[in-house]
Amino acid sequence: MANESEDIILGRIGIVLKGEYNPSTTYTKLNQVTYQGSSYTLKVDQATGIVPTNTSYWIQSCQKGDKGDKGDKGDTGAKGDTGAPGQDGTDGVSPTVSISKTGTVTTLIVTDGTGQHTSEIDDGYTPVKGTDYFTTTEINEFTDTITTNVNNNLGIVIDGINGEVI
């Protein structure tokens, strides 16, 4: 009897990795996919749209593990780059302050970028001409103080007569 060599076609004999499962892809025998963290290998000739958890078509090759313990805190990272400069703001309006007295009523008017703010206080006192008036220097010092406080974003003016916030 003579030795005759006969070729035998074995077909695919190794697993072919296909990545993440896609229901619109046609898979053939020994294609392996990942699905929900586990790996599955097709055990039939062909399948399309059959989820890997269907054990009539797929065999689970590797099961997703449980979540591990929290790791140690890492080292502090390098300092990041300086950010871009911010957008220029609009120019503000310096406030003006005026004070007047009519009869027993003292009026303080502050005008700023949001409008005019007026406060009137009836202190019951009528000044005596020639003795109860502020000098020009005193008026200028008081006006400068109020303007400085408003410019420093205090946002309030306190009436020196009654201690009221206006």
- Strand, coil or helix: 41: strand
Phi, psi of 144, rounded to the nearest 5 degrees: -65, -40
- Asked: is 16-62 a CATH 2.10.10 domain? The reply is yes
The predicted structure's pLDDT at residue 133: 61
Q: Which amino acid is at 7?
A: D
Alpha helices per DSSP H over the chain = 136-151
Instruction: Identify whether the C-beta of residue 103 lies closer than 8 Å to the C-beta of residue 89.
Output: no
List average pLDDT for each run of 10 residues in the chain, which is 166 residues long: 70 88 96 96 96 97 89 92 81 73 78 78 67 66 69 50 46
The predicted structure's pLDDT at residue 162: 46
Comparing C-alpha atoms, which of 29, 32, 51 is closest to residue 40?
32
Cα distances from 89 to residues 11, 53, 92, in angstroms, run 74, 60, 9
Q: Distance (Å, rounded) from C-alpha 23 to C-alpha 66?
A: 26
For CATH 2.10.10, list the domain ranges present in the chain.
Answer: 16-62
pTM: 0.39
The predicted structure's pLDDT at residue 35: 97
Comparing C-alpha atoms, which of 89, 107, 87 is closest to residue 99?
107
Q: Distance (Å, rounded) from C-alpha 129 to C-alpha 145?
A: 25
Instruction: Identify whether the C-beta of residue 97 lies closer than 8 Å to the C-beta of residue 146.
Output: yes
Sheet architecture: strand order including 105-112:
96-102, 105-112, 115-122
